[in-house]
Structure 1
Amino acid sequence: MKITVWNENRHEKKNPRVKEVYPNGIHGAIAAFLEKGGLDVTTATLDDPNQGLTDDVLSKTDVLVWWGHIAHEEVRDDIVDKIQARVLDGMGLIVLHSGHFSKIFKTLMGTSCDLKWREAGENERLWVVDPAHPITEGLGEYIDLEKEEMYGEHFDIPAPDELVFVSWFAGGEVFRSGCTYKRGRGKIFYFRPGHETYPTYYNEDVQKVLVNAVHWAEPVKGPKPIYGNANPLEQI
């Protein structure tokens, strides 16, 4: 299984605090623990040739992990179309934190994907609401993050196929923070934590979730559906 971790990599260049927290970029931090989990991982960023997502890269990617925030509109529409086609054909997609506003996530959801937010460094507790789900394997009842950005309801997404995590924040809000979807032959997981100025991706439970999610999203090896005009199987 081949994993591509894509990150716009703009905060790391503009904000010394982010560079301090993630000296190798958010993509580098994520790639490092996925590789420790025995996965074949490459990274790509917005400023790479063809925005890091050439036809060759996409064709070889089994699961694409996506982090973006301040440069959503810079992602080319033709690349979004190609990612969508790959998801429909079976590629897994893991969308992280502010990637809820990415072009690809909004395209696949068909809604605004808007929400409430507040950056106040408050405690987030992610409750496991589907303890039988493979993405939660190895976790306790909840994940406790000392400091995170708040996302609050209403989250304008379609009802998830499976709701895996619900977050509570110290300010009182709650949020559907772990949601799965199927689109075509592909599987999608949205996971909320990961604000760029907090060391969220060094948390062992968060890492465990993402390793589990990548395995969950692995393409299923099976026959492709056949569409269009069809000859009868039996005599009519």
Structure 2
Amino acid sequence: MGRQITRFTLGLVASSIYPRLPHEEKLIFQMALAFQACWTIPLPGPHMIGELSARESKTHTGRLALVALEKQQGIQEYHKGYLDRIQAFVANHLNKIPAVAEDIPLVALHADMGLHNVIVSNHAHTLIQAIIGWEFIASAPYASLHQIIEMLFRKTAPNGFGPEYGRAKELREAFWGTIPEWGDWNTSEATQLFLEWFRFGLFMKPKWLFLGLSEDETAAYWAENVRVVKDMLGKYSWP
């Protein structure tokens, strides 16, 4: 039986503050240190993807996403254009992921450490007071938090993957420069290959959040998903 211990923390939810911060304040917002603090916690052995008890997971992100994609209603054109090809790809290519991707570090992580789970000071909005939502902890490749980290460099959007801030390159450099060991891993072949396949699983099926968007907005909503899927099908399967 699990226990949950709570304490009231005075402050503001970072997701309501961070998008409005000046660029100079975003540069000194120390989320990188919060991620590093988790990633350096020693794991019980053997180090496997799964719970912190190191229970092995046999299910691939791509297969889980495919099941959700097959059940999704209201996307007939997408199904018509991609579903058969995606099904064949998942069936025939997931066992061909380059072995070097296995070299990526497995770490303890807060699997939902987005800005919506960060409390900042009422008076100094770059000062992190607390990280909440600790029911979402696991052992997994550190780069599986890629999408959450990316939200520090992008504007909000209905599909959770909005356009980059104007000086996003500087924000990325400041983030990874704060934790240089992980910055080196982030540019490694192992991480780049892992992210390529992991993003395919993430973007195979977007969250269903259209909420009355216009036709142009709907097309923009799908654009990143379609690009990622087409790139993978073209690179590892067929044009």
Structure scoring higher RCO (CA < 8 A, sep ≥ 6) equals 2
Q: TM-score, normalised by structure 2?
A: 0.26
Larger radius of gyration: 2
Please identify which structure carries the higher strand content.
1
Please identify which structure carries the higher helix content.
2
Q: TM-score, normalised by structure 1?
A: 0.26
